[in-house]
Amino acid sequence: MTGELSGQTAIVTGASSGFGRKIARYYADEGATVVCADIRETPREGGYEDDPDRSTPEIIEREGGEAIYVECDVTDPDTVSALVETCVSEFGGLDVFVNNAGIYPPLGKVHERPVEDLDRAYAVNVKGVWNGSKYAVQQFLEQDSGGTIINVVSLAGLCGWAEQAAYNASKGAAKQLTETLAIEYGPEGVRVNAICPGFAPTALTSDLYDVEEFKQKITDNAPYGDRWVSPEDVANAAVFLASEKAAFITGECLTVDGGYGLTYAHTRDL
């Protein structure tokens, strides 16, 4: 297949559902070979996937692309190391690593929520990015050909939002990791960027998206458009950041939110 990512090999974590599923499919559409990593092969329940009974690699292969599934828990460094090793053994190298896997703890003020919320958020949203980036960089350095890391952070990593302190803190840390990695490994030809989406309809946020009043507040406060962020919006950004069109972009946090963050920063009104 030809396209923006023709000839590249990419790993996408959290690829069975939501943003990761769409990113993996768009990468394949653009000619990349994709390693779909997740703790489960089929989509999470409660999401808005088309064809939810099929795995992401099944859909990619049905559409003429090349992909495999590798079970991976991003909180476990050994399984992330094995993920990269599998990618290299199967396809000869690694060009793009997308740290997409994440969790969204229940809403609530700090004094109302257990500290385990913070532990879980950091284990996946921070340690997962650390692990993925570490083993991707090791492979990039061994190849001596550079590479690209894309972290799916969140608008919540850029500004504080009420009732989701654990999530905010973890995503803020992921944002800082992005910038630090860009500084450390830029001289080695490694680009590291982040995508910061606003609210999007995925399994992680279905409890909010299905509440009409909340859904409408988000829609009404976005300066551009009359909808939430879509997985397609995020996937398009991920294709761009992995492509040669972004060859001189690193350390950036690309917001994909229809301008919602600009409004929220002034009103703090969800």
Catalytically active residues, by annotation: 167
99 has which bridge partners?
Answer: 151
Alpha-carbon distance values, 113 to 106, 167, 204 (Å)? 8, 12, 18
Compute the distance between CA of residue 155 and CA of residue 136 in angstroms, rounded to an integer: 24
225 burial (CB, 10 Å; 0-12 / 13-18 / 19+) is: middle
Helix (H, G, I), strand (E, B) or coil at 164: strand
The three-state DSSP-derived secondary structure of 188-199 is HCEEEEEEEECC
Which distant-in-sequence residues (6+ apart) come within 8 Å of 89 by Cβ? none
